[in-house]
Amino acid sequence: MRQQQSIHASFEKQFNQDKHGYQIRLAASIDVVRLLMKQGLAFRGHDESKLSLNRGNFLEILSFYAQKCDEVRKFVLENAHQNDQMT
């Protein structure tokens, strides 16, 4: 029974960490979307590849947001789980 509790506790801890990351990513994305909508700006650019100098408004603003906010930087763009990245 003790091993079952340990496994359950481990899964619960991992779930809570993932959930926190999802909430941070969602909040940051919503903040950027609100800004773009308020300003009436386009969301994406012509070339959103990693080598592009201008990847579009959404990704550029999200990247700027991540540079300025440590909490967001930990969970967005390149630091997101592979299956949660936006590009």
pTM above 0.75, yes or no: no
Using one digit for the tens of pLDDT, what is the confidence trace for 57-66? 888 898 899 9
Domain boundaries along the sequence of the chain: 2-84
DSSP annotation string for 2-63: HHHHHHHHHHHHHHHHHHHHHHHHHHHHHHHHHHHHHHT--S--S--STT-S---HHHHHHH
Average pLDDT score over the chain: 80
Q: Are 42 and 57 in contact (CB under 8 A)?
A: yes
